[in-house]
Amino acid sequence: MRGVSFEFEAGKVTALLGRSGCGKTTLLNLCGAMDFPTSGEVLIAGKPTAALGDRELTALRRTGIGFVFQFFQLLPSLTALENVELPLLLAGAKNTEAKALERLRWVELEHKANSLPWQLSGGQMQRVAIARALVHNPKILVADEPTGNLDTASGDAILKLIRRAASEFGAAVIMATHSGEAADIADTRIRMRDGLIQSVETA
């Protein structure tokens, strides 16, 4: 990334668009505090990520940021409910099962709580992944090609949930995508090229 300056807003969906290799995943990793810039700053709620200690970073990644990936990344030996519950357990939360179940209900998969990932369709796996990403009410939802491995109908259902993550949970949603449908649901579209922001379009 070079010379990128942008503010991602709470309650809004921002789409990162551009050819393979233009830097979308790199920017997501910077926004998710998974990577750090060699120069410049990434501020989350006003704090530079590079200034955070290990403990603060872990807490931020665990509870302040939700991640959704193209290939779902569910733990294969855990049930849908356990996958959603895991971030709560890691954070030492209370009433973890009830909270996880509530999120599964939100993605309309309460009836699949005891299913293992291989027993679910791709769209269902991604809904579980979204429930997991939102179980802590994160301030930021980072989604890297969330519909890239789904058929149109399943992809549309995922995009509706992603929109609601912004409107109901107030998350700043940052989504990298190659899909026109996904770009269409965004409030702001950032077109990238060779590590630069080429244009910004706000609906």
Ligand X SMILES: Nc1ncnc2c1ncn2[C@@H]1O[C@H](COP(=O)(O)OP(=O)(O)OP(=O)(O)O)[C@@H](O)[C@H]1O
CB of 23 to Mg ion, least distance (A): 8
- Identity of the residue, 24 or 103, whose beta carbon is nearer to Mg ion in the bound complex: 24
Using the rule CB under 5 A, is 147 a contact of Mg ion?
A: no
**Which one of residues 14, 25, 83, 177 is an interface residue with Mg ion (CB under 5 A)?**
25
21's contact among ligand X, Mg ion, none, with CB below 5 to 8 A by partner kind, is ligand X
Q: Binding pattern to ligand X, positions 121-160, x when CB under 6 A?
A: ----------------------------------------
Q: Total binding residues for ligand X by CB under 6 A?
A: 9
Buried b (16+ CB within 10 A) or exposed e, 29-51: bbbbbeeeeeeeebebeeeebee
If the CB atoms of residues 27 and 60 are measured against Mg ion, the closer one turns out to be 27
CA distance 3 to 62: 29
Residues in region 6-45 near ligand X by CB under 6 A: 18, 20-26
- Beta carbons within 10 angstroms of residue 54's beta carbon: 7
* CA 203/CA 187 separation, integer angstroms: 5
Q: Which is nearer to ligand X, 184 or 194 (CB)?
A: 194
Positions in the binding site for Mg ion (CB under 5 A): 24-25
Positions in the binding site for ligand X (CB under 6 A): 18, 20-26, 176
